[in-house]
Structure 1
């Protein structure tokens, strides 16, 4: 059977947050004829196996912590049963499925034609799509956006396939009693924190002495120390050589850490060692699009590739910011430029706030202290720091009190705030507002002129000496 022939102004390959935002803006606001293709579930990593189900699980973990802490406030909370992982998973899955439906409805509302299938390039302007029913569609597009996202990596370790990745975390039907999490980035740290708070014996394997190593040293050191204080088993300077199935659902991890070589019998091994762009099925080589050493598509600040009418954004690109709101913002600005007549529209990738939903939360915007010193010189940098016990912990015993630490990195005589790093309760919500100030170019004096709200932890950011 000959393929069905279609044409469009703008073809978006990938139904994640960035691609859909760009598609809807181009069609709904500017009237372009737009088609979108996705071979999994609408919403991409964020909605299905990322931000959304992760944050819901983080809420559950935070409630578990609150239940434990409630007795310090005079409550007697008797847990009659352990956390019901299966019930929670079913409700979380149902929530995500509703979101999938909302995404599809929004595409219809904005008149974006949606095909569920797998796309591959035929030539620079033509993409074929294998639909679920084996029908083939050939689409000729004037402009094409590649926004297919990425997938989690497995390590080059014997038996690695016996473990799971972050995708598999959300597929777990029952709660592991004992888990090994391998990795030192935000995904590993978040999932280790959630496992531990919900009652799983958690072992976190990291290659160095701290984790979150792209963050400010204050964050690295204090969150690492806090995880150790909470009772997460940290295996520093570690490597893994083998994962084997020993029956009865158990795995045996062979590893080396600062204490030497060892083995550990676990229910689950979760690899969180990085992600790669999802390009294998796309026949991308035929386009001769430039890619970097990690196979991400090279783009400029306008999301242009080296092929004039092909663009890329989100996790598949080399923009360096694998964050959902970044992809959404970049996608909308791209459509503003391509179809809305805004010839200079592009995302400014500087001073983008980000949060790690660790235990406690971490927030960061701008330069780390070492980055600021390298860029501006030691003599042009002034750093303000504070560490304190949040009022929430005032009723608790010393050994149960979590830390709060803030750092403001300032540059020049006017002490422009070029970096803000916070750790503690409420950091996620707090950083959104302070992020506006930093993006606007606020100085330390601007912070100081803002009258504090009392009593809240955030007041420390406007009263720091």
Structure 2
């Protein structure tokens, strides 16, 4: 569309919603598919400027699928937030060890309850899912539960949890679906899990194999080792954390080995024969991939 200079004080001409000079005929000014960080922010901002906004999101579940998701998206429900809870939980093992060197006398066994940590983690992401719903409602955004698909440039069809479908017309559509973890395409990949499942394991693994050397892989290696698991980390480069400062990567690799994590640089997995806990982690957690 051609642009033109506007004189001071001259308001730009805005076409009506129906594309002509008559009354607008759309249900919404903006329809957002996906209530993660981007979708929530975009819908709230538009509503704040007076737009009539709707947003659709899948029913809540800690592990995502084509039909399960939740308000808050990957970062809040199965990404950074729950992962940090596990990181904090795992860090105490080192603190207990260090405390002895500073005069603390810790007598007897220090027991760890994995199920308690997972229960508290789940409670927190359920709470945050509700917070995001309240934020959207308070902003005047209409929330619709279901899977959205685009019919045409101004129509979104939402498949609801009961299988029924509803169509909504809108002047603009914002796609904010993010992505889901995928498994590396090797034989036996169906025996592995992604980062979604890694954050919701019913039992703490006694041994874990992680494929990938990114920061999420390194974090999961540290989490599981910190909680008592035996961990092997496989990655294709000579050092973990590709793209980070080389000196820092060297220090991180040394620290990982110092914690007892077995590193396998310059290697890859070609087949999974048996896996209870193997984690593929070749992407970031918020769109991450893992084999556990």
TM > 0.5: yes
Distance 1:78 1:139, change over 3 A: farther
Whether the aligned pair in 2 keeps the contact of 1:152 and 1:273 (CA below 8 Å) is no
Q: Which position in structure 2 is the counterpart of 1:137?
A: 166
1:17 aligns with 2:33: no
- The one of 38, 44, 66 aligned to 2:57: 38
Unaligned runs of 5+ in 1: 246-250, 252-266, 277-313, 316-321, 323-465
Q: Which position in structure 1 is the counterpart of 2:189?
A: 160
* SS across alignment from 1:173: coil
1:127 aligns with 2:164: no
Whether the aligned pair in 1 keeps the contact of 2:32 and 2:55 (CA below 8 Å) is yes
Whether the aligned pair in 2 keeps the contact of 1:14 and 1:148 (CA below 8 Å) is yes
**Aligned positions, number:** 254
* SS across alignment from 1:240: coil
Query: Per-residue deviation at 1:132?
Result: 1.1
Q: Which position in structure 1 is the counterpart of 2:280?
A: 271
CA–CA distance in 2 between the matches of 1:78 and 1:275?
A: 40
- The one of 79, 82, 95 aligned to 1:66: 95
Q: Which position in structure 2 is the counterpart of 1:114?
A: 143
Q: Which position in structure 1 is the counterpart of 2:13?
A: none
* SS across alignment from 1:175: coil
Q: Which position in structure 2 is the counterpart of 1:75?
A: 104
- Write out per-residue CA displacement over residues 308-350 of structure 1, whole angstroms, 9 at most, x where no aligned residue: xxxxxx97xxxxxx9xxxxxxxxxxxxxxxxxxxxxxxxxxxx
Question: Which fold has the larger relative contact order, with Cα–Cα distance below 8 Å and residues 6 or more apart in sequence?
Answer: 2
CA–CA distance in 2 between the matches of 1:205 and 1:152?
A: 18
When the two chains are superposed, the root-mean-square deviation of aligned CA atoms in Å is 1.9
CA–CA distance in 1 between the matches of 2:127 and 2:198?
A: 20
CA–CA distance in 2 between the matches of 1:79 and 1:33?
A: 61
- The one of 229, 249, 252 aligned to 1:223: 252
Distance 1:79 1:203, change over 3 A: farther
CA–CA distance in 1 between the matches of 2:271 and 2:177?
A: 31
CA–CA distance in 1 between the matches of 2:108 and 2:282?
A: 35
- Write out per-residue CA displacement over residues 154-176 of structure 1, whole angstroms, 9 at most, x where no aligned residue: 11111111111111111201100
Whether the aligned pair in 1 keeps the contact of 2:225 and 2:231 (CA below 8 Å) is yes
The alignment's TM-score, normalised by the length of structure 2, stands at 0.83
Whether the aligned pair in 2 keeps the contact of 1:6 and 1:137 (CA below 8 Å) is no
CA–CA distance in 2 between the matches of 1:79 and 1:41?
A: 42
Distance 1:60 1:80, change over 3 A: same
Distance 1:275 1:80, change over 3 A: closer
CA–CA distance in 1 between the matches of 2:174 and 2:248?
A: 36
CA–CA distance in 2 between the matches of 1:208 and 1:47?
A: 30
Q: Which position in structure 2 is the counterpart of 1:459?
A: none
CA–CA distance in 2 between the matches of 1:161 and 1:271?
A: 11
The alignment's TM-score, normalised by the length of structure 1, stands at 0.53
Query: Per-residue deviation at 1:131?
Result: 0.9
* SS across alignment from 2:50: coil
CA–CA distance in 2 between the matches of 1:199 and 1:146?
A: 41
Whether the aligned pair in 1 keeps the contact of 2:215 and 2:284 (CA below 8 Å) is no
Whether the aligned pair in 2 keeps the contact of 1:6 and 1:138 (CA below 8 Å) is no
Query: Per-residue deviation at 1:275?
Result: 6.6
The equivalences for 1:167-316 within 5 A come to 167-245=196-274, 251=275, 267-274=276-283
CA–CA distance in 2 between the matches of 1:41 and 1:79?
A: 42
CA–CA distance in 2 between the matches of 1:77 and 1:6?
A: 67
Query: Per-residue deviation at 1:116?
Result: 1.1
Query: Per-residue deviation at 1:78?
Result: 3.6
Unaligned runs of 5+ in 2: 1-24, 59-68
